[in-house]
Amino acid sequence: MTVHVVIPVHNHIGETLRCVACLKQQRHPDIRIIVVDDGSTDDTDRKMASQHPDVVLLKGDGNLWWTGATALGIDHVLKTAAADDFVLMLNNDTEFDADYVGHLVACSKVHSGALVGSLSVDISDPARVVHAGIVWDWRGVQSRRLPCAPGATCTTTINTLPGRGTLVPVEVFRKVGNLRRRWLPHYHADYEFACRAARAGFPLVVCYDAVIRVHTEITGSEGDLATPIALRRAVHLLFSRRSIRNLRYRMTFIAIACPARYRIRNWLAILAATMLLLTNVPPLFHIKNFLFRLLPGTAQRVLLDRKMMAPKKVVSG
């Protein structure tokens, strides 16, 4: 029963080496590491080959992005993997203790071959939980990050999982297919895959004992709704592959992951969020703030509670 760890990378060789070092300290007896180097310019391939010659190194030309690189590694695993093997999707911006992989495998077995996500904490402040589970509320047109329940060892009250630190039984890929690299090349492919697996009947779990420490400063573009931005920056946020607000891919994610009866309302919500983002471009930003201050205090609090005006930071998977 081998755990095949697939790590997509683009530069950040220091983080990659630390992540691989953590994997080599694991107490789980059978781990195979696959690093997919998508066009790094910091000698990732040379340094990996010299320091970790036993690690499988696959090469991309810089156009694979997260989904394509991860899918390439998974395709490589599926050629030889046994039926009871696992794939661990892992980012190189993570560190963890020696029992990490063992906790994931044990949790999957207890929960009937579940996909198992990790409890993510900020490496600079381990008391701050970055991710303890996500629920997509399609009807309410929002996603909710779950708190880490005190005293609990895991949670099953989720309906998706991120790609940063998720263990997947090989049989899941053989039943539902690989990540959708063409439709969702960078963001949302991990969430869509987990939703697809859940629809096929595979349980989803977050294991609180499997803790990864995340370098939260290594992330994509998000932007917020409380800061004025230049038009060029707004265009970048809406159309760059590195932006979680990419309009095309958010609409695609809804098309293939959202239940049909809720698709239109979720598409409309994305379009509304897009228009709201554009109001951060001056002079619309100043007009928006002026009108906001004219609202009664109760209305202002409602908007702030809904995070329509508050700064937002998203740590990507």
Rounded Cα distance between 194 and 180, Å, is 12
The rounded distance, in Å, linking the Cα atoms of 233 and 220 is: 13
Distance of CA 175 to the CA centre of its chain: 22
DSSP annotation of 243: B
Distance of CA 200 to the CA centre of its chain: 21
Confidence of residue 316 (pLDDT cuts 50, 70, 90): very low
* Farthest-apart Cα atoms in the chain, separation: 64
Q: Do 34 and 56 contact (CB within 8 A), yes or no?
A: yes
Give pLDDT, residue 286.
81
Q: Which of 80, 30, 33 shows the shortest CA–CA distance to 54? A: 33
Report DSSP state, residue 298.
Answer: H
Give yes or no for a contact between 86 and 4, defined as CB atoms under 8 angstroms apart: yes
Q: How would you class 59 by CB atoms within 10 Å of its CB: exposed for 0-12, middle for 13-18, buried for 19 or more?
A: middle
| Number of separate helices (H) and strands (E) present in the chain | 11, 12
What CA–CA distance (Å, rounded) separates 25 from 218? 24
Structure tokens at 201: 């009947």
147 preceded by cis ω (within 30°)? Answer: no
Asked if 123 and 213 count as a contact pair (C-beta separation under 8 A), the reply is yes
| 316 vs 24: which has the higher pLDDT | 24
Q: Which residue would you say has higher pLDDT here, 110 or 303?
A: 110
pLDDT tier at 98, thresholds 50, 70, 90: very high
Query: Which residues are registered as beta bridge partners of 38?
Result: 60
Domain positions in the chain are 3-214, 231-305
- Please spell the DSSP secondary structure of 38-52, one letter per residue: ES-SSSHHHHHHHH-
The residue-averaged pLDDT of 190-201 equals: 97
Q: What is the pLDDT of residue 229?
A: 87
What pLDDT sits at residue 312? Answer: 36
Spatial neighbors of 112 by CB under 8 A, at least 6 apart, are 203
The answer to whether the Cα torsion of 273, 292, 224, 208 is positive or negative is negative
Distances in Å between the Cα of 84 and the Cα atoms of 37, 169, 182, 205 are 27, 7, 28, 18
pLDDT over 90 at 303, yes or no: no
Rg (CA), the chain: 20
**Residue tagged 């891919």 (tokens):** 249
Q: Which CATH number fits domain 3-214: 3.90.550.60, 1.10.10.10, 3.40.50.1000, 3.20.20.140?
A: 3.90.550.60
pLDDT at 152: 93
The pLDDT score that the predictor gives to residue 307 is: 46
Query: Does the pLDDT at position 71 exceed 90?
Result: yes
pLDDT bucket at 284, cuts 50 / 70 / 90: confident
Q: Give the contacts of 291 (CB within 8 A, at least 6 positions apart).
A: none
* Contact present, 164 and 89 (Cβ < 8 Å): yes
Average pLDDT for 197-217: 95
Task: Give the torsion sign (CA, 251, 254, 255, 260).
Answer: negative
pTM above 0.75, yes or no: yes
Q: Which residue has the tokens 């004992």?
A: 209
Q: Are the CB atoms for 226 and 178 separated by under 8 Å?
A: no
